[in-house]
Structure formats: structure tokens, C-alpha cells
Amino acid sequence: MKATENEPVTGVVTLPSGIRLVTAQGDLPAVEVSLPAATALVYLHGAHVAEWTPAGQKPVLWMSASGAFTPSAALRGGIPVCFPWFGPNLSDATAPNHGWARISAWTLTAATLEGPDAVLTFELAGSHPDSTGTAQPVSLRYTVRIGATLTLALTVRNDGAAPVSVERAFHTYFAVGDARRTTLLGLQDLPYLDRTVSPPVTASAALPVAFTGTEIDRVYPMPRVVTIDDAGNHRSILVGDTDAAQTVVWNPGSTKAAAMGDFGDEEWTQTVCVEACNVRDQAQVLAPGAQHRMGVTLSVEPEPARHEPTANTNTQPHQNAEDPHTMERLTRAIHPGDILPTRAIQFGEGNFLRAFVDWQLQQMNTQGLFNGGVTIVQPLAGGLVAMLEEQDNLYTVLLEGKQDGEEVQSHEVMTVVTGTVNPYIDYEAYLALAENDDIEFIFSNTTESGIVYSAADLRTDAPHASFPGKLTALLYRRFELGKKGFTLIPCELIEHNGDKLKETVLATAAHWELGADFAAWVDTDNTFYSSLVDRIVPGYPKDRAGELCAEFGFEDRLIVKAEPFLLWVLEGPQALTETLPLAKAGLNVTVTDDMTPYRERKVFLLNAPHTTMASLARLAGVETVRDVMLDPDFGPLVHEEMYEEIIPVLDLPHDELAAYAESVKERFENPFMHHELASIALNSASKYKSRLLPILLNFHAKNGTFPPRVTLALSAILLTYSGDPSVSVTPVDSAEIIAGFQAAYATDAATPDAYVATILADTTLWGTDLTALDGLVEQVSAGLASLRDRGVRATLADLSVLA
């Protein structure tokens, strides 16, 4: 690169030492930064950050070797600025993809040194149509702070006379050692829009995002931090400190990369995109004269602990022959074992099923009581069965906590998973499971919203969108083959889940006109057990993954952490105690003809406080269940909700409930657990309906008033889902649910009572019109206003004003 005159592209007369204008690839002008803290290169074309390398690190950003460097083309790699739309223009097919900002010549208006950092400011003016199609002038100011961290801030101002809606994204291409050995942490259990299928579908996954060679294109709500676990470069890249509402994760995979002219065939292995953004339903509407800022900070942390065993362990790590500094991935090559006959199908590959059902099946196998494995079916288009297959379906369960007053710390490699099936890729392989006479059991956990009849499922679909649709198709294939039925045990946290699952299967069968004989076979040849499950499973221990892998002696990207305690109550025939002898294996499992007392105790004294704390404590920046219990405001909240609002309306002996409540509090305070509230917040609206709404209704029926803490949790959910700019946390639910809340709030933001009334009247959310409860709208509205205007801690300090 050569130095160039600065007058054509900048009004800055003198640039500080370490910053200069250069002519870069394609003879494009660029700003080069060379400081002790970092080096960087930013093109004036698109204000495109192409290079950023902190001192002592490898380059953090990736640029394609096949990319074009011309004044009319977008640069492939680095950090394109997408504005004022993201992706294709939905109203003009001829408009440039991702907007005009990334292919425009920006002006460098300031360049300064602030401590060890360089701060560059770029500006650009353009126009964007309003809702009537009339072009309105807009201006942009883009600040790039370069040092040990890279901070980006894009401020947009509407200079026109009418509102405009704009989308923005920092489309960041991160350089990684090998995408196939890279995972993204922080997105587990968050709902995402999968844009690789048409039409896009909403899904979620309990495991870290992995890259296997198929295209990934997902829009997530933005968590506090996304961590790129760059194993190939022995580092973590952190994307955080952002006010963006969303993040897009993209990798073209091998097929799409080969079809792209500016992307090398194998370059998909060199980069992953994690893009802080406000797009689609999070587009910002700017009033005339209004401006809005979106920023993000990138940082890098080395992770030496991942690659060397700790000094106090005798476990020798398995080394990768190609890279002796990297531990070998957990596979059957380093952990051989017998291949078991498949005796169960499992819908779901998430943390809970793997640490609860699969762990128990393995305990029976160890004692010679079951001799069977499980085939996992991926229930959603976006899932992680490919990641399981990479490890030969092996993973580690880590148990940590207290049991009977004693600390427990143990780990065990699970060998019980015998195979996986992705019906979105191989539907016939999925239906072929019906042919296996060894399979007796079907387990599932598809969240509370999974067991829902869908009239949109057609018999000809392959696969069907809903879990009941997929299950009905499998059962019908089994019926057509003239084989025996299954024992079905759903684990979803809804009351009478076995009965509900059976109802949805029969409703689907009727919708598809499968006939009376099939319906009779479903009813008589299959046994649907209702179940109650209880084990806290925080999931992947991202903060300690490197340390744990060093202790284990192998790399495992699917570690799942759980507490030692578990309870499984199954309602149905006692014959299950022989065919699935869990209790004989010493497991805390009960088969009963009435699980109601067990269910109420667990759902209302464990799951209900979980939902309350996730709804309220997240608003105060509290991150984990243990943090809640140790907090001077939220710890008492949990205790008081249990003893003053929940226990008084449960129909069980007080002493028994109090003893269970204390055991739950002890579990919440587990020092080994890092149970994030963000994961508990998934589908908060439907969880409130099943966990807290019965308490609210029973309390009101008994006392004529509403329980203040349970009601305040409802206020918090309505505020979080509203899209109000004062809310710092992102709702974790389907895009359709969130859009409904935000549309209602946009209409009635000035009058919270109207917004609350609209939401509480929605029977699809709550199963009943809650506005019929005199005074509830007013109390929820008062809580919402107080949380928004005074904050959650001040509101908790004065709950009496809301009751």
C-alpha cells in the first residue's frame, strides 16, 4: 500500500501519528492504523473495516481472496455496513442487496488518538423512501474505535419531513482457524428465524451453534454476549456491549460457497458471520429530525487452558495427530463401547433430555436392566443432530451440586444414543424407524408450545411442521406395517402431557382422514403416559468448557451440566415398572395413577418461581438463578412468593410444601450451578400461563385480590415483550408472539391500560379473557408503568402500591 493525498476523501488536514491515508487493493482509498495496541485498515468505500489485529493476536476479521475491489462492488469480508435495508429490498428487486451504504464513498471527517486507541469518524448522506414511497433525506455518522477492542457505533438521523423505517447491520466476517471446529456460545435456547428454508421457520436449539458444511442463516435475539469459540486459533472472540436487538449468524456452507463468484469454494471453513443488527421486525422508525445509535464492541481472549491438562489431573489428553496442541474430539475412536439395540425414539436433542432421560437409560444399562439405546429425532428445522454425529453420538454429563447434604461432582460419557435422524434432510429415514421391532418407547421434550394441534399440517407434508404432525405420520406408518404400538412418554411441562399428546395425534388423524381403524389402534395399542420431570439442567458450561475438557482428556462440545437431584413421576399402568425398570436402578422414579399432588408441588414451587425471577430479575441485570437467591432484593422475593402467594393456594399439607420449598431454595443456591435466566425466559408467555396463571386465579378466588409478586411478573413479561426502548433485555419467544405484543404496544404506548387490556383479552395467549377479572388490568398496568419508569428494584421495595 502507498500513502495518498487526503483532500479528495477527507477534510482532515493533519492525521495523528499512526494513522495515514493509503491506496489499498483495487486502488481504493483507505485509512491505515498502526498503533502499539492494534493495526487496522478501513476502506472509504463503504466505510468498510477490512482488517483489525490487536497486538499479540492473529487477524480477527476475514477477507475473501476471491473478492472484488472496485468502486461499484461490495467488499466480501470484513465488516460491511448494511443500511438502510438488510438482504434484498422487499419493494425493489433491482436495488442493491443490503442497501447502498456499503457500496458508497464515505467521507472521513475526524481522526484522533484517545489514549492507546484510534478513533475514526466517517459520514455519509443519502435518501430512503417513507411509507408513501417519497424519498426522505437521511444522514449517517459512523465511529470506529480501534485498539485492544474494536468498537463500532452507527448513528442515523432522519433529515426529512416524514417518518422513515430503516434496518442496520454490522455484517461482520470473523476469521477462524476452522469453522468446523468453531462453536458459538450464548445463543443456546434462544428462538431464531431459520432463513435457509422457505418460508422461514422459527426454531430453537439447546446446544451451541456449530458449522458442519450446510448453510446457516439465522436471526436471533441479541444476548448480552455472543462468544465465538475459535478452537483452531486457541481463542475466544466476544461480540457484546451492544444495544442491537438482534444478531444474525451466517455461513454459506460448501454448496453455496461454491456457487458464489466472490467466495472461494473452501473459504466457508475460514470464517463465520455474527452480525449485530436491527432488522425486519426490529427496524427502527425515525420521526423527522430523530436519530438513533446502534453500537457493538468486539474483543479477543486467548484460551490456553483448553489445550493443556491441569496440573492436578492424571488424565492424559488425547492429542490430534494433525495438531499436537489440540485435544482430540470425543468419538468412539477414543471412547469405544458396545453398540446397543435401539429401544427408544427421542424427539429432541436438547440439554434436558440428554441429561435426564438419556442419563437414566444409561444408568439402567450399566446395571444390566435395559440393554437399549435411543435414536434422536431432530424436531425442528434448526437443530444439532449433525453436531452429535460428529462425536459419534457421544457426550458428557457433568453432575454438580448437593445431595443429602453432601457435595457431588462427577462426570460420565453417555453412550446410550445409537443414532440420529433429521427428518428435514432424510424424511424416509425418519419414517423407517417405524419398521424397527426393537423400539418400544418414544420420549419427547418440545417445550410447552410443542404439543399443539396444527391444522396447517397436511398429510402430504414431508416433514410436517409440528411435533404432533411428525408423530402421527410415524404412528401411521407403524400401523400400516401391522406392528405393535409404542409406550409414549412426553416430558413437556404441561399438565396431563400424555393425554394432550394423544388428543393432538387423534385430532391430526381425523384432519388427515386416516380412518377409524387407525384411531382405534392409537387408542388401544399405544400407551400414553403423562409425566412430571424435575432436574435442573443449566446445560453447556461455557465458562469452564476448556478447563473441563482438559480434565476429561478430550474435547467435547456437547457437555451438559445438571444437578444430582432428579424426580420423574409417571401416571399410567404399573406395567411400566417392569418394561422400564428405572426404580430398580435406584432412580427417584414413581409410577402412579394420580400425579396431581406431585405436579402441583413441582410446577408451582420450582417452575413458577423460575418464571418470576426470569421475568423480573433480568430487568435489573441479574443473570443467574444463584445470583437471584443471593441478591438482597430478589432472594426475599422468591421466599415471599413461595410462602405468601403459592403455598396458601395449594391443596397439600403445609409442612410438606414448606419442606419442599426449602429443598428447592437449596437447589437454587447450588454453588456449582450457573443457570442463566435468559434460558429460563424462553417462551415466558406460555410458561406464565402454565406455571403462574393458576396461582393468580386461585389466589384471587380465595382472597378477592391478586398476588402482588405473581401479578408483577405478568407486568414484567408485558413490558419485556412490548419493544419499549427503555427495556434493556430481549424477549425470548417466537417472532410471531413478540410481533403481536409489539404491535399492540405501538398502538397504545401512550396508554398502558389499553395495551394491557389488549394483551390480557387475547384468549390464544391465556386460554381465557383475563380482562374479565375486575381490577387485573389496572394492577398489571400499574406494575408495568412502575417497572418502566421507576425500575424493578424500586418497584419491589413498594409492592403495596400495586396491590
C-alpha torsion 140→144→150→154, nearest 10? -10
Interval 368-401: pLDDT, tens = 999 999 999 998 776 778 889 989 999 999 999 8
Report the C-alpha gap between 781 and 801 in whole angstroms.
12
Report the C-alpha gap between 473 and 441 in whole angstroms.
16
DSSP 579-597: HS-TGGGT--EEEES--HH
The predicted structure's pLDDT at residue 320: 52
Report the C-alpha gap between 704 and 768 in whole angstroms.
18
Cell representation of residue 275: 452480525
Report the C-alpha gap between 599 and 494 in whole angstroms.
10
CB distance 533 to 567 below 8 Å: yes
> Burial level of 384, CB count in 10 A (0-12/13-18/19+)?
buried
The predicted structure's pLDDT at residue 5: 47
With 80 as the cut, is the pLDDT of residue 316 above it? no
Interval 96-137: pLDDT, tens = 999 999 999 999 999 999 999 999 999 999 998 887 888 999
Give kind and range of the element (H or E) at residue 145: strand 135-146
Q: Tell me the average pLDDT across 191-199.
A: 86
With 90 as the cut, is the pLDDT of residue 212 above it? no
> CA angle at residue 266 from 262 to 270, to 5 degrees?
90
With 90 as the cut, is the pLDDT of residue 239 above it? yes
With 60 as the cut, is the pLDDT of residue 308 above it? no
List beta partners, residue 156: 140, 292
Q: What CATH topology corresponds to 2-177+246-295?
A: Beta-galactosidase; Chain A, domain 5 (2.70.98)
The predicted structure's pLDDT at residue 1: 62
The predicted structure's pLDDT at residue 401: 87
What is the domain partition of the chain in residue ranges? Answer: 2-177+246-295, 342-567, 595-801
Show the 3-state SS of 324-335: CCCECECCCCCC
Cβ-proximal residues to 27 (8 Å cutoff; 6+ apart), any chain = none
**CA contacts within 13 A on the Cβ side of 332:** 14
Phi first, then psi, for residue 576 (nearest 5°) are -65, -25
Best-predicted range by mean pLDDT (221-230, 506-515, 655-664, 729-738)? 506-515
DSSP structure class, residue 435? G
For residue 667, which amino acid is it? R
Give kind and range of the element (H or E) at residue 8: none
Q: Indicate the CATH number for domain 595-801.
A: 1.10.1040.10
pLDDT band at 306 (very low <50, low <70, confident <90, very high): very low
Q: Tell me the average pLDDT across 760-769.
A: 96
Closest CA to 298 of 252, 242, 342: 242
The predicted structure's pLDDT at residue 2: 59
Interval 36-61: pLDDT, tens = 999 999 999 999 999 999 999 999 99
The predicted structure's pLDDT at residue 448: 62
Cell representation of residue 353: 433430555
CB distance 219 to 196 below 8 Å: no
Give the range among 52-56, 340-344, 729-733 with minimum mean pLDDT: 729-733
Report the C-alpha gap between 483 and 472 in whole angstroms.
15
* Alpha-carbon separation of residue 33 from 11, 100, 104, 110, 299 (angstroms): 18, 26, 21, 13, 17
Cell representation of residue 357: 432421560
Report the C-alpha gap between 263 and 303 in whole angstroms.
30
The predicted structure's pLDDT at residue 598: 87
Class of domain 342-567: alpha beta
With 90 as the cut, is the pLDDT of residue 551 above it? yes
With 50 as the cut, is the pLDDT of residue 313 above it? no
